[in-house]
Structure 1
Amino acid sequence: MRPTHSPSASPAIARPRKTPLNRAQIIGFWGAWAGWTLDGMDSFIYALVLAPALTELLPRSGYAATPGNIGLAGSILFATFLVGWGCSFIWGPIADRYGRTRVLAATIFMFAIFTGLAATAHSVWSLGVYRFLAGVGIGGEWALAGTYVAESWPEDRRKMGAGYLQTGYYAGFFLAGVLNYTIGAAFGWRMMFLCGAVPVVCSIMVLLRVKETAKWQSSVHRTDAGAVAAPPVVPPLRAILSGAYRRRTVVAAVLLTVAVVGLWAGAVYEPSAVIQLALKAGYTKVGASRAASLATGVLSIGTILGCLALPPMAEALGRRKTLAVYFIGMAATIWVTFGWVFYAPNALVPFVACLFVLGFFGGNFALFSLWLPEQYETRVRATAFAFCTSIGRFIGAGINFLIGGLVLHFGTLGLPVALTSIVFLVGLAVIPLAPETKGMPLPD
């Protein structure tokens, strides 16, 4: 006789509850997220005000403000900014020794101050110096924010926390677009740079309200002067470039280089492309600037959704397969958007529509916020994160010089940017060499 079952005799299997976040973890996350948001806003302000700023500053510097000169000077300044980003690897060893929160606050303070000072620039040279120094601060924020969230959140929430954190950078893109649509269109590029000084307030909040991570505290010893990290047998930078870490550091640096080239080609040249298409469609200069702002919003929404979709995909497919999917999507979308749609008749609307898809696959950066901390122990984690993210920026600077030269040579923006899609083939070849960390806890 078969037993009968009633609802009371057969209780439903309850899903395991996620570990609740405490007050310190919540405040710490929002502090890191706000810094990353303002970092993204600051980065993209330059892309949005590039044309009007150089139109004014090139004649003051002894150069005609021709489209070719604006494109070349813009690429050189982008490259200068990226070199500053590359130099930001200095923050990693400092954070491994003195803690995550204080150094995170310092990076935010630095990029905010020098972005604000860019509003006072009276030549392309002074603007280049300010953008270089702002880049040093901006480049350090991601490494410190990503390390902080990975170490402070519970293991069962850490992966999704990486996706949530990465949305901040692209929320910053959206915020920059809103500011350009309103303040930039009404008051000009200098006021946009002044808006970039606002993150100073965020840096003060981080310094006063965000507590240090328990993982870092457990790796330090206390002295009468305060908490400082115990000197390791091998310095962190040397440690990640030798022994068991060498291969994964080289592979991670290559993969991040591919991602950075894709970001700076596909996303940062987007406003200039939209402005060109809008002017061709009969928009006024103000209307074209606002169209670029709206397009930035479309790109940002797509990227935020890509960041949120990535952690569950990484848990289901693994880190390597997920990155491959996003890299294939980036390659295809950059080629179609800039190599084909950009040259189509009445291209403005379909180009902006393609930006949503480009943005979605641009969410691949969320994987690195999740994956990099899983590959290194606490005492070298910030150094590894900062180093791997910085190498790609140096190479990205060279790519920007190349793009600028190709734009000047061909007299068009679309094809040079479309050609950067080839770099993702390198990424796909390198992905199998990276360690698969799916299901593994964060190392101590």
Structure 2
Amino acid sequence: MPSTLDRQISATRATKTPLNRSQITGFWGAWAGWTLDGMDSFIYALVLAPALTELLPRSGYEATPANIGLAGSILFALFLVGWGLSFIWGPLADRFGRTKVLAATIFTFAIFTGLAATANNVWELGFYRFCAGVGIGGEWALAGTYVAEAWPEDRRKMGAGYLQTGYYAGFFLAAALNYTIGATFGWRAMFLVGLFPVVVSIMVLLRVKETDKWERAETAHPHVKHESSLKAIFNAQYRKRTIVAAVLLTVAIIGLWAGAVYEPSAVVQLATKAGMDKHDAARMASIATGLLSIGTIVGCLALPPMAEKIGRRKTLAVYFVGMAASIALAFGWAFYLPNGLVPFIALLVVLGFFGGNFALFSLWLPEQFETRVRATAFAFCTSVGRFFGAIVNFGIGAMVLNMKTLGVPIAITAIAFLIGLAVIPLAPETKGQELPN
């Protein structure tokens, strides 16, 4: 006989609002775009060493490990600046709707990812990565806004977790492509891959119905249609939550990206120290990235139920503590062990799980802002941290160059999460509240 718990679970599932075809299609379109977004973002981390080894001499610089580390940090900082400028997509989506602007962001990052394959020097690569960053940064904000508005109230929270898995599925896809295409055909082929599957995502998104919430807001508030939504998120009603959310996302960005971007290079160094040749070391980096991605996907799926049970603020605090500990241990301890490859990769799985904290923002941010400014607020809060992330990456690059080591500079970024823990109590707790209209 079924237990009481089984009957309760069955009853809960039975009462879930069914999704219609447009909601399902729209979700998979947004998820596919976010997956390709993650793939594009991580392609750079995976091909950093071979790309700069080829392009630095063409740009007048010696391809030493220190120069590769410094140039890699600078180029990634440019990418983050482009991502920071992606807040421009939010006001466009609040003005013209979610789906078409979302498709435009995907088209932008796909085109410039493909063009990166044609780079003849580090300056061209930096420009293409900057432009790709503008597109990539807008995709998360618009995909998160779309799912929050399009899905029924009793499903949207878990939908945020499902959506966020796409980004890390993209990490896994990038690792698989690097293991096969990258290892065989080189770094240029990896960038070219970013051009092809995005066409499917754009076709899906252009055929998806606009969200009812946005259409109702347009009908209900015609007098505010031309009001600046960017200005509105800093009025008395929203100023505090906008600033607090931006700070929390800045902390998450600094911590996760410092670890994730340099993870392949760290694994390659550890694998080489363990006696592997360059080919096997590159493949080990792909395997480690795949494990990191799996850990993060699990973390994304575990987060919404936790947020519903203990609240948004406590959940973020748990994930921030886990991120701080795993980054500090992976890069500050395991990286320096005589045989540190295995413990380092094991800690990457833990780091990946707590890196799922980004799923909380997909769930939490839409709950803090009404429909007419939601996309703008989401885009701004998820973008502004990229500027600070760029500054931190310049600092990391300088530290790597001066200290002649990768581990300690990355481990120091764990301090950012202490700042985040101090700021969390200032954020509004929205547990149990419906999405505002």
Question: TM-score, normalised to structure 1's length?
Answer: 0.95
Asked if 2 retains the 8 angstrom alpha-carbon contact of 1:152 and 1:213, the reply is yes
Does residue 343 (structure 1) correspond to residue 343 (structure 2)? The answer is no
Deviation per CA, 1:257-313, whole angstroms, max 9, x where unpaired? 000001111111100100111111111111111000000000000000000000000
Match of 1:49 among 47, 50, 61: 47
The answer to whether the 8 Å contact 2:99/2:208 transfers is: yes
Q: Is 1:301 aligned with 2:297?
A: no
What residue is the counterpart of 1:38 in the other structure? 36
Instruction: Return 353-362 or 261-270, whichever deviates more.
Output: 261-270
Give the structure with the higher percent helix: 2
* Residue of structure 2 aligned with 1:140, choices 132, 138, 141: 138
Kept after mapping to 2: 8 A contact 1:306/1:363: yes
Partner residue in 2 for 1:188: 186
Matches within 5 A, 1:2-41: 15-16=11-12, 17-41=15-39
Match of 1:225 in 2: none
Pick one of 287, 310, 317 that aligns with 2:303: 310
Measure the CA separation in 1 of the matches of 2:270 and 2:324. Answer: 22
Following superposition, the deviation at residue 235 of structure 1 comes to 1.5
- Structure 1: which amino acid aligns with 2:319? Y
- Farther off after superposition, 196-205 or 307-316: 196-205
Q: Which one of 309, 312, 325 corresponds to residue 332 of structure 1?
A: 325
- Indicate conservation of the 8 Å contact 2:268/2:285, yes or no: yes
Equivalent AA in structure 2 for residue 116 of structure 1: G
Amino acid at match of 1:393: R
Residue by residue over 1:48-78, the C-alpha shift from the partner in whole angstroms, topping out at 9 and shown as x without a partner, is 0000000000000000000000000000000
- 1:66 equivalent among 44, 64, 67: 64
Map 1:248-327 onto structure 2 (within 5 A).
248-327=241-320
1:200-279 equivalent positions in 2, closer than 5 A: 200-221=198-219, 231-232=224-225, 234-279=227-272
Which position in structure 2 is the counterpart of 1:151?
149
Query: Contact 2:218 / 2:225 at 8 angstroms: preserved in 1?
Result: no
Q: 1:230 to 1:304 in 2, by over 3 A?
A: farther
CA drift of 1:229 comes to 7.0
Distance in structure 1 (CA, Å) of the matches to 2:426 and 2:202: 41
1:170 to 165, 168, 171: 168
CA-CA distance at 1:221 after TM superposition: 4.4
Q: Which has the larger radius of gyration?
A: 1
Equivalent AA in structure 2 for residue 419 of structure 1: I
Secondary structure of 1:268's counterpart equals helix
Once the two structures are overlaid, the 10-residue window that deviates more, 348-357 or 87-96, is 348-357
Q: Write the letter of the residue equivalent to 1:209.
A: R
* Deviation >4 Å, runs of 4+: none
In structure 1, distance between residues paired with 2:330 and 2:404? 18
Gaps of 5+ in 2: none
Of residues 357, 370, 391, the one that matches 2:363 is 370
The residue that corresponds to 1:113 in the other structure is 111
Aligned to 1:425: 418
Q: Distance in 2 between matches of 1:119 and 1:208?
A: 27
Q: Assess if the C-alpha contact under 8 Å between 1:39 and 1:169 holds in 2.
A: yes
What CA distance in whole angstroms lies between the structure 2 residues aligned with 1:316 and 1:203?
Answer: 34
How far apart, in 2, do the equivalents of 1:274 and 1:221 lie?
Answer: 54
Instruction: Quote how far apart the aligned CAs of 1:210 are.
Output: 1.6
Instruction: Name the amino acid aligned to 2:387.
Output: F
Shift of 1:90: 0.1
- Tell me, yes or no, if the aligned pair for 1:107 and 1:137 is still in contact at 8 Å: yes
Between the aligned partners of 2:226 and 2:106, the Cα distance in structure 1 is 31
Q: Secondary structure at the match of 2:61?
A: coil
Q: Is the 8 A contact 2:95 2:225 kept in 1?
A: no
State whether structure 2 residue 397 is matched by structure 1 residue 401: no
- Deviations 1:240-270 (Å, cap 9, x if unpaired)? 0121100000000000000000111111110
Structure 1 residue ranges without an equivalent (≥5):
1-6, 223-227
CA positional deviation for 1:433: 0.2
User: Does the 8 A contact of 1:113 with 1:200 survive in 2?
Assistant: no
CA contact (8 A) 2:331 2:408 kept: yes
User: Deviation per CA, 1:134-177, whole angstroms, max 9, x where unpaired?
Assistant: 00000000000000000000000010000000000000000000
Greater alpha carbon shift after TM alignment, 359-368 vs 281-290:
281-290
The residue type paired with residue 406 of structure 2 is: L
Using the alignment, how far apart are the partners of 2:50 and 2:106 within structure 1? 26
Is 2:178–2:190's contact at 8 Å kept on the other side of the alignment?
yes
Matches of 1:198 and 1:147 in 2, distance apart? 25
The answer to whether the 8 Å contact 1:98/1:229 transfers is no
Match of 1:104 in 2: 102
The answer (yes or no) to whether the contact 1:320–1:431 under 8 Å persists in 2 is: yes
Per the TM alignment, residue 230 of structure 1 is displaced from its structure 2 partner at its CA by: 5.8
- How many Å separate the matches in 1 of 2:261 and 2:161? 21
